[in-house]
Structure 1
Amino acid sequence: MLSAALRTLRLHWAAFAGAFVALALGTGLIATTGLALASSLDAPAQAPERFADAPAVVRPAGEVSVPTPVGVRTAPLAHPRAVTPAELARLAAIGPTVPDRSFPVRADGGPPGLVGHPWSTAAFAPYVLTAGRAPERTGEVVVTGDWTRPGAVLRTARGQFTVVGTAGDLGFENAVFLTDRQAAELSPRVDQVVVSAPRDRVLAAIAPTRADRGSPTPLRLLTGPDRRHADPDPDRDADALVTVNALLGTAAGMTGFVSVLVTAAAFSFAVTLRRREFALLRTAGATPGRIRRTVLTEALAVGTVAAAAGCALGDRGAPLLIRYLVANGLAPPWFTLTPAGWPYHVAFWTGLLAALAGGAGAAWRAGRTGPLEALRDASADRRRPTSRTRLTAGAVLLLAAVGTAVYALFTDPGDLLHRKTYTSRPLLLIAEAVLLLPLLVRPLTRLLTALPARLPGASGLLVRENVSAQTGRTAAIAAPVLVTVALAGSLLGTTTAVREAETAELRARTTADFVITATGPDGLDQAAVDRFRAVPGVRISPSASSAVFVLEEGTALIRSDARAVEPGGLAATTRPPLVAGDIRDLDDRSIVVNDEWARHRVGDTVTVLRGDGSPAALRIAAVMPTGTGGNGVYVTPRNAPGAVVDRIDVALGPGTDRAAAEAALRRAAAGRPGAGLAGAGFADAGLADAGFAEATVRTRAEWIATTVPAPDRRTTAGYTVVLGIALFHTAIALANTLLMAAPGRARELALLRMTGASRPQLVRLAVAEALTAVVVGAVAGAAVVALHLASIHGALAVLRVPPTPPALPWEVIGAATAACALIATVCALISATTPAGGRPVRPRRGGSLGARVAGEPGR
C-alpha cells in the first residue's frame, strides 16, 4: 500500500503540491507562533531597580487580603495608604532611615512621565552624577538623562527650578531629584522608608500597635529580590507579556483552524481531479476500502514531510515574528526568543492530524460510489452538492453556534462582548459555512450571474454554467475567501459595534455641558475645585476614580471600579440608567451598584472593602444595568478615602451664556498651581502660558470622543497578525486550486478555441469564473458576519445599552474581498495562459473504451 501510494504521489505530484505547500506553511505558522508563545509564558525575574542598593525597604502593603475557606484572596488596592508619622518615628528609633516620596512633574520640554524624588534616595539605585553637583538649596534639581544640562532653568507646573546636575539614565524612569526638604514640602506623603537595622528589630517596629488598629493595611518589610515591590511598576515585565500571550494564543488557534480547512479543501479537490483514475480502479475491481486506504496513505506521506518542513520554517520564522512584535509595541524591547521543544511537537502533530483529517474526508468520498457511478461521475460534476455526513456536520455546528449564543444571551450576555469570546465564537459559524458551502454554490451562482447571463454574447452564460456545474472547484475557491471575509468582518465589525455602543451609552448617561479632566496623575486639589465652583451660572459635580471590593459566594474577591461623587451634583450632570432605586438616595451610608453583583436588590446591605482596604457596610440605594462595562459603582467621597478628584462635570444653569461660561472655565483651568506650593517660594507668572494648565476643558461631545477612542496601534497590529494569517492561507488555497485545475481545463479551453474564441476571450472567461467564485465566498462570509453581529447586538439589547443601528462593516468586507479577488485574478491569469490552455485541438474518433464511456474525445 505504501509503495503504491508513493508511486501515485510521484505520478500526481502537481495535484499534491498545493496541499503540501498549504500544510507546510500552516505548520510553519503554528511553530512560529508556538515558539514565540513559549518565550512569552515566563517573564524574566525583575530585579530591584530604585532600591537595588538599599538594605531594606518598609512600605504599606499594596493589596487587600481576605481569608476564605479555599485560601487567602488578594487584590491590588486602588489607594494604598502612606506611612504614618507614628510608624516613621518607630522606624527612626531603631536605625538610620530615609523616607521616600514620589510625585509627578510636568516640565516644559521634558520627557513624559517625569517623577520627583528626594535626593537622599538617589544613592540606592544607585544614580551617579555625570555632570554638575547635588541639589543643596531650594529650587535646585538634578535630572536623569541627557535632555537638559546644568545651568538650564526647568519650568514646571510646580514652579521654576535650576538644573545643577545630571545623572545617568538607568532606563526605568525619568527622575527629577530635589532636596529632601523641598520634596517634603511638595509631597508630604511618605510612600516607603529605607531602613538600616537588624531584621528582627524592623519586624518588631512595624508590628501593629493599638494606635495603628485603624490602619486598613499593615506594613511590609522588603529585602533581597522582594525590594522590587518598592519600584513604581514591580510587575511591569510580566504585565507587558499579557497582550503577547493573548495575541499569540489567538493567532496559533486561528492558524490551526484555517490550516485544517485549507488542507481539507486541497485534498478534496485533489481527489476530485482524480475521479477518472478512481473510476478505472473501481472498474478493475478495487474495493472502496482499498481506495480509501490509498488516499489516507498519500495524506500520511504528504503530511509527514510537510509537517517536518513546517517545523523547519517555524524555526526561521519565530525570530522574525518576535522582531515584528517588538517593533510595533506589542512586546517589550527585551523580549527575545527562548529555546523550547514543545512548540515543534505541537506544530508537527497538528500538521499531521490536519493532513489526515483533510485526507479522511476526501478518502470517504473517493470510495463511496460503485464502479458505474464512479465512471459516470468522472465525466461531469453531477454528484450531489454535499454528502449527508457533511450536511449533518454543518447543521450540528450551526445549531451549536446559535445555541451557545442564545444560552449566553440568557445567562451571561456580557461574555459575548469580551475580546476572547468574540474572537473565537465566529469559528463555529465559519466551520459550519465551509461545510455547507457546496450546497450553496449553485443557488448563489445562479443568483449572482442572473443578469450577466442575459446580456448579449455567450460569456455571461458560459460563466454561469461553468461555475454552477463545477461545484467542487467553485467551493474550493470560495472556501478560503469565506474564511478571510468572515474573520475580518467578525473581528473588526465587533470592535466597531462595541465601540459605538460604548459611545451611545456615554452619550445617554452624560448630561453635562462640559467635562473637565485633570491633566496630570495627581488630580485636582480643593483649591482648583473651588475655582470651578466659583464660575457664575454653572453647577459642577466633582468625582474621583476609586474601587470597591466584595467577597461573593464566600470565595471570590471581586473588584468593581467606582466613582466617588457628591450626591447633589450627580443628579444635575448625569443620567445613569437605572434598573431600580433612585440615584438621589445615594449618601455616605449607601452605594449604587449594577445588576452584575451577586446581591443587587435595593435596600439590601452589602459589606465591601473600600479603595484603601477599609471595610464598610453600605445599603444599596439604586441598581444600574451592567451595559458594556462602563456602568460601575457610585459611592460618596467619604467611602473613597485616598481618592483624588480627576473629573468635574459641569452643567449650565438656565439663561447662562455658553460662550462666557466656557471662557471662564478655561481661565479657571489655567489658574495657579495647586495647594502646597505657596510656601515653596515660587512665582506663578507665566506657568499657564507654558502649557501647564491643571485641567482640560472639553465639551460633552469632545469628551465622549476622547473617552472612547479608536483602536490603538497595538490593537491594530494584533489584528494585522491574525488577519494576515488568514489572508496568507487564502492566497495559498486560491493558487493551489486554480493552478491544479489548469491541466484539467486545457481541453475545455482548447475546444473553445476551435469554436472561434480568441485567447483574450478565454483569459477573460477564466478570470470571470474565478471572480464569481470569490464573490460567492464573500457573500457567504458576509452572511457569517451578519449572524455573528446579530448575537452582539442581541447582547447589547439584553444589557440595556442604548440602541445603535446595526450595520455590516462593508469597508472591511470590501477590502478583504478585493484582496482575495486580486489573488484569484493573478492565479487565473497564470492558469489560463499556460500553453495547454490556448492550443486548439481536433477531436478524433476512436480512442480507448474508458474515454468513450466517459464521454471524452479520443486521443
Structure 2
Amino acid sequence: MLSIAVYTLRARRVTFVGSFVALALGVALLTVMGLALASSLDAPRRAPERFAAARVVVKGADTLRVATPIGTRTQRLARPRAVPAAAVARLQRLGEVTLDRTFAVHAENGPGDLVGHPWPVAAFASYELTSGRAPRTAREVVVTGTWAKPGRTLRTDHGGVTVVGTVADLGFEHPVFYTEAQAARLASRSTQLVVAARPAAVRNAVRGIPGLQVLTGDGRRLADPDPDRDRVALTALNALFGTAGGVTAFVSVFVVASTFAFAVAQRRREFGLLRTAGATPGQLRRTVLAEALLVGALASAAGCVLGGYGAPRLARWTADGGLAPGWFRIGGHTWPYGAAFATGLLVALLGAAAASWRAGRTGPTEALREADVDDRPMTRGRRLCGAGLLLTAAVLLLLDPPGDLLHRKTYVSRPMVLITAVALLSPLLVRPLVRLLARAPARLPGATGLLVRESATAGVRRTAAVAAPALVTVALAGSLLGATANLNAARAAETRDRTTAAFVVTPPDGAGFDEATLRAVRAVPGAQASATSASAVYVLEDGVALIRSEARAAVPAALAATARLPLASGRVTALDDDSIIVNEEWERHTVGQRVRVWLGDGTRKTLRIAAVLRTGTGDNGVYVTPANASGAAVDRIDVALRDGADAGAVAAGLREAVRAGGGRVRTADQWVAAAYPRTDRTTRLGVLLVLGIALLYTGISLVNTMTMATADRVRELAALRLAGATRGQVLRLVGAEALTVVAVGALLGLLVAVVELAGMWRALHLLSAPVVIRLPWSAIGTAAGACALLAATAAVATVWPALHPGKDQAPPVR
C-alpha cells in the first residue's frame, strides 16, 4: 500500500500539492500561535524603579482580603489606604521617614500624565539634577525631560509655578517635584513611605497593624506606578493568543478536512478502476490513509519550520502595534512544535479517514461512469453531524445567559459551531442557491449562463468545497465585526438615554477637579451641577465569590436633575449615606434589602438598596453617595440649566470656572459623541489579528481548492473547445462559474452572520438595552469581493495554459 501511495502522490501532484499547502499553512499558524501563547505565560522580572535606592518601603493596604469557606478571596482596592499616623509615629523612632505623596498634575502644553511628588523622594529613584537647582518655595518645581526649561513659568491646576531645575527622564513616569511642605498641602494622604532603618526593625514596629506591607529587595517594585502592568499586559496577550489559536485551529481543521475530502471525491473513477483490478475496500482505505500519513508528516514538518520563522515576526508586530509590552519576545519553548506537528498529522488522518470509508465503498462500475453528476453528495454521517451541530448552535443561541452573549470570548467562538453546521449541510443548499443566482443569467443570449448553472449544480461536491472558504471568510467577518459594532452602538444609545444635562465638564486626562474649581462651577449663575467621581464597591456573592462593581459617587438630588437612570425599581432620590443603588446582576437586587459591601478603600458596611437599575450592556453600574467614596476625585460634572437660564451665558461661565485647571466644557451631544463607545486599540488590533489570520488562511485555501477543482476539469474544458467554443468563451465560463460558487459561499456566510447577530439582538432586548441593528456591509463586501477575485483569478490561471495552441485536443481516456 505504501508503494502505491507514493506512486499516487507523484501521479496526482496538483491534488496532493493542494492538500500539502493547506495542511502546512495550518500547522504553521498553529505553531506561531502556540509559541506566542507559551511566551505570554511568564513576564520577565522587573527591577524596582521609583524606590530602587531605598532600603525599606512601607506601603498601606491596597488589597481587600475576605475569608470564605473555600479560602481567602482578594481584590485590588480602588483607593489604597494611607499609612496610619500611628505607624508613622512608630517608624520615626527607628530612623528618618520620607512620606511619598502622589497626586495628578495638569500643566498647559505639558505631558498628559504628569504626576506630583515631594522632592525628597527623587533621590530614591536616583534622579539627579541635569540643570538648575532643587525647589525651595511652594511655587517652585523640578520636572523631567526637556518639555520645560529652568526659568519657565507653568500654569497648572494647582496654580502657577516656576521651573527651577530639571532631571533626566527615567522612562517610567513624568514627575513634577514640589517642596515637601507644598506636596503635603496638595496631597494630605501618603499611601507609602521610605524608612532609613533595618527591615527586621521595621517589621517589628508595624506588627499588628493590618494591611501594611514592608517591601525590600525586588518587592520594592510593588511601590512603583502600576506595578501589575506587565501581568495585566500578559493576561490580555494570553487571552488574545488563546482566542487567535482557537480560531486558527478551527479554520485549519475545517479547511484541511474539507480539502482531503474533496481530494478523495475527485478520484472516484480511479478507485473504481482499482476495484475492477481486484483491490478490496480495505486496501483502498489503507491506501488513502497511507497517502494522508505521507502528506501529513511532510506538511506538518514544513509547517513547523515555517511557524518557527514567522513567530518572532508576529511578536515584533504585536509589540510595535501596542498589543504586547516592548520586551515581549518568543521564548525557546519546544512543546508548541510537537503539539502543532501532532495536530497536523491527526487532522490529516482524521480528514482522510472519513473520506477513505467512502473510497472503500466505491464500486467497480465507477470506472465506467462518464457523468460528473453527484447523485449522492452527502453521506448519512455528514447529515447527522450537520444536523447535530445545527441543533447545538440553536441551543447555544437560545439558552445561553443573555449577558454571556455580549462577552468577547463568546461572540468570537460561538459562530464556529454554526459555520461548521452550515458547511456540512451546504450540499443540500447548493443546488437551490445556484439556480436562484443563475436564473437571470441562464435566460440571456448565449450558453454561458446555462452552462454555469448546470456545471455548478451537477458537481455539488466541487461547488460545496470551493464555497466553504468563502463561507468561513464572510461569516467570520460579519460575525466578529458586526458583534463589536452592534455592542458599541447599544452602549452609545444607553449613554445618550442616560444623559439629560445641558453640558458635561471633564478634567484633563488623569486628573480630577479640586475644591476651588468645584466651587467656581457651582457658583455659575443658572447652572445646576452634579459632580460625580469614580470608585468601586465589592460584594461577596454565594458566600464564595468576591465581585468588584464599578461605582459612581453622586449627590442624589443633583444626580436626578442631570441624569435619567434606567430604573427597574426604586427612586434615585431615595439614595443616602446608608443606602446604595445596584443593578439586576447583583445576587440581592430588591429595594429595601440590606447588602453587606466593602467600599473602595476596603471599609466594610451594610447598606440598604434604594433603587435597582436594569442590567443593560453592563455599563449600568453602582451608585453611592460621596460619603461612601471618601477621597475619590471628581472626574465629571453634569450641568443642567435652571429655569430661565441662558445656555450661552452658562457655557461661558463654565469655561471661565475651569480655565485654570484645564477642564473642558462640552454640550451633552458633544460629550456623547466624544464618549461614543469605541473598541479600544488593543481589542481592535486583537480582533483584526484573529480575523486577519482566518481570512489569510481561507483566502489561500480558496485559491488552493479552486486550482484543484479547475485542474481536474481540463479534459472537460478541452472538449468544449472541440465543440466550437473559443478560448475567450471558455475562460469567461470558468470565471463566471467561480464567481457563482463564491456567491453561494458568501450568501451562506451572510446567513450565518445574520443568525449570530440576531442572537446578540435578542440578548440586548432581554437585558433591556437599546437594540441597534447594524451589519458591517463594507467588511462583508470586502471579504466577498476578495474571495471572488481570488477564485476567478485562480480558475482562469489554471485553465489558461491548457488552452494554448496545440493543447486544444482532449487528453486520451486512461
Please give the TM-score of this superposition, normalised by the length of structure 1.
0.91
% same residue: 55
How big is the shift at 1:116? 1.8
- Which residue is equivalent to 1:333? 326
The secondary structure found in structure 2 opposite 1:66 is strand
SS in 2 for 1:170: coil
Whole-angstrom CA distance in 1 between matches of 2:416 and 2:86 = 60
2:387 aligned residue: 395
Instruction: Report the residue type matching 1:101 in the other structure.
Output: R
Structure 2 counterpart of 1:379, from 371, 382, 395: 371
Is contact 1:23–1:355 with CA below 8 Å preserved after alignment? yes
Q: What pairs with 1:70-149 in structure 2 (closer than 5 Å)?
A: 70-149=70-149
Question: In structure 1, how many angstroms separate the alpha carbons of the residues matched to 2:226 and 2:9?
Answer: 58
Label 1:187 to 1:230 Cα distance change in 2 as closer, same or farther (>3 A). Answer: same
Q: How far 1:606 moved relative to its partner?
A: 0.5
Kindly report which structure 2 residues correspond to 1:772-787, keeping only aligned pairs within 5 A, or say none: 772-787=740-755
Per the TM alignment, residue 798 of structure 1 is displaced from its structure 2 partner at its CA by 0.7
| 1:359 to partner: Cα distance | 1.0
The alpha-carbon distance between structure 1 residues 538 and 192, as it changes in their structure 2 partners (threshold 3 A), is same
Distance 1:591 1:382 in 2: 67
SS at match of 1:241: helix
TM-fit CA distance, 1:334:
1.1
Unaligned runs of 5+ in 1: 210-216, 673-691, 844-855
| 1:547–1:562 CA contact under 8 A, matched in 2 | yes
Is the Cα–Cα contact under 8 Å of residues 745 and 837 in structure 1 kept in the other structure? no
Once the two structures are superposed, residues 631-663 of structure 1 have per-residue CA deviations (whole angstroms, 9 ceiling, x without a partner) of 111111111122222112222233332222222
Cα distance in structure 2, aligned partners of 1:379 and 1:54? 85
8 A contact 1:264–1:361 mirrored in 2: no
User: Are 1:798 and 2:766 matched, yes or no?
Assistant: yes
2:211 partner amino acid: P
**Post-superposition CA distance 1:424-445 (Å, at most 9, x none):** 1111011111111122111110
**In structure 1, C-alpha distance between the alignment counterparts of 2:635 and 2:700, rounded to whole Å:** 53
Letter in 1 for 2:388: V
Q: Could you tell me how far apart the structure 1 residues matched to 2:635 and 2:165 are? A: 34
CA distance in 2, matches of 1:721, 1:534: 51
* Structure 2 residue 205 is the aligned partner of structure 1 residue 241: no
* In 1, Cα distance between equivalents of 2:680 and 2:67: 39
| Distance in 1 between residues matched to 2:282 and 2:247, nearest whole Å | 33
Measured after TM superposition, the shift of residue 842 of structure 1 is 5.9
Match of 2:792 in 1: 825
CA contact (8 A) 1:753 1:839 kept: no
Q: Could you tell me which residue of structure 2 aligns to residue 848 of structure 1?
A: none
Aligned residues: 814
8 Å CA contact retained: 1:485, 1:816: yes
**Distance (Å, rounded) in 1 between the aligned partners of 2:178 and 2:62:** 26
Task: Determine the structure 1 residue equivalent to 2:783.
Answer: 816
d(CA) in 2 for partners of 1:2 and 1:473? 28
In structure 1, distance between residues paired with 2:512 and 2:166: 28
Cα shift readout 1:270-318 (whole Å, capped 9, x = no counterpart): 1122111101112223222221221111111111111111111111111
Query: Quick one: distance in 2 between partners of 1:631 and 1:807?
Result: 22
Does 2:543 match 1:554? yes
* Correspondence 1:416 to 2:383: no
CA contact (8 A) 1:19 1:267 kept: yes
Partner of 1:212: none
Quote the Cα distance in structure 2 between the aligned partners of 1:3 and 1:326. 49
1:425 aligns with 2:417: no
Counterpart Cα distance in 2 of 1:26 and 1:563: 48
Normalised by the length of structure 2, the TM-score is: 0.96
- In structure 1, what is the Cα distance between the partners aligned to 2:657 and 2:368? 87
Q: State the distance in 2 between where 1:429 and 1:37 align.
A: 26
Distance 1:802 1:721, change over 3 A: closer
Contact conserved, 2:537 with 2:597, CA < 8 A, in 1?
A: yes
C-alpha deviation, 1:840, in angstroms:
6.4
The question of 1:738 aligning with 2:706 is answered yes
1:43 is aligned to 43
1:2 to 1:162, Cα distance in 2 relative to 1, 3 A: same
Aligned to 1:360: 353
What does residue 617 of structure 1 align with? Answer: 606
For the 8 Å contact 1:514–1:699, the answer to whether it is kept is yes
In structure 2, distance between residues paired with 1:746 and 1:363: 25
**1:711 Cα deviation after fit:** 2.4
Paired residue for 1:707? 675
Q: Structure 2, unaligned stretches of length 5 or more?
A: none
Task: State the SS of the aligned residue for 2:490.
Answer: helix
Which of 610, 622, 636 is residue 647 of structure 1 equivalent to? 636
Rounded Cα–Cα distance in structure 1 between residues aligned with 2:786 and 2:363: 42
| CA deviations over 1:31-69 (Å, ceiling 9, x no partner) | 111111111110112221101111111121101111112
Equivalent pair of 1:143/1:167 in contact (CA under 8 Å): yes
Question: How far apart are residue 105 of structure 1 and its match?
Answer: 2.2
1:771 to 729, 734, 739: 739
Q: For 1:266 and 1:809, how far apart are their aligned partners in 2?
A: 29
- How far, CA to CA, are the matches of 1:637 and 1:743 in structure 2? 74
Residues 858/799 of structure 1: CA separation in 2 closer, same or farther (3 Å cut): closer
Question: Which residue identity does 1:421 align to in structure 2?
Answer: T
Distance 1:577 1:243 in 2: 31
- 2:260 pairs with 1:267: yes
* 2:397 pairs with one of 389, 398, 405: 405
| Equivalent position amino acid for 1:795 in 2 | A
Match of 2:584 among 576, 595, 601: 595
What is the aligned partner in structure 2 of residue 446 from structure 1?
Answer: 435
Could you say what secondary structure the match of 1:65 adopts?
Answer: strand
Range moving further from structure 2, 382-391 or 471-480: 382-391
Partner of 2:8: 8
What is the SS of the residue equivalent to 1:579? Answer: strand
Displacement, 1:825?
2.1
Kindly tell me: are residues 280 and 230 of structure 1, through their superposed partners in 2, closer, same or farther at Cα, counting changes over 3 Å?
A: same
Task: Give runs of aligned pairs for residues 178-189 of structure 1, distance below 5 A.
Answer: 178-189=178-189
Distance of aligned partners of 1:204 and 1:482 in 2 relative to their CA distance in 1, 3 Å threshold:
same
| Corresponding residue number in structure 2 for 1:434 | 423
SS of 1:197's equivalent? Answer: coil
CA distance in 2, matches of 1:637, 1:152: 38
TM-aligned CA deviation for residue 456 of structure 1: 1.4
SS at match of 1:439: helix
Give the secondary-structure state (helix, strand or coil) at the position aligned to 2:769: coil
Offset at 1:836? Answer: 4.8
Is the contact made by 2:141 and 2:177 (CA closer than 8 Å) also made in structure 1?
yes
CA gap of 1:466–1:26, structure 2 versus 1, over 3 A, is same
Q: SS of the residue aligned with 1:413?
A: coil
Q: 2 CA distance for matches of 1:761 and 1:668?
A: 76
Tell me by how many angstroms 1:717 deviates. Answer: 2.1
Q: Within 1, Cα distance between the matches of 2:808 and 2:97?
A: 98
Distance 1:178 1:550, change over 3 A: same
Which residue identity lines up with residue 793 of structure 1 in the other structure?
W
| 2:130 maps to 1:163 | no
Give the CA RMSD over aligned residues.
2.0
Q: CA deviation at 1:857?
A: 7.5
What one-letter code is carried by the residue in structure 1 that aligns with 2:731?
V
Q: Is contact 1:282–1:371 with CA below 8 Å preserved after alignment? A: yes
CA distance 1:770–1:92, change in 2 (3 Å): same
The question of whether the paired residues in 1 share the 8 Å contact of 2:149 and 2:163 is answered with yes
1:838 to partner: Cα distance: 6.7
Go from structure 1 to structure 2 and tell me whether the alpha carbon gap of 1:643 and 1:801 turns closer, same or farther (over 3 Å shift). same
- Superposed counterparts of 1:653-692, under 5 Å: 653-670=642-659, 672=660, 692=661
Shift of 1:839: 5.3
Q: Is the 8 Å Cα contact of residues 533 and 540 (structure 1) preserved in structure 2?
A: yes
> Partners of 1:604 and 1:564 in 2: how far apart?
20
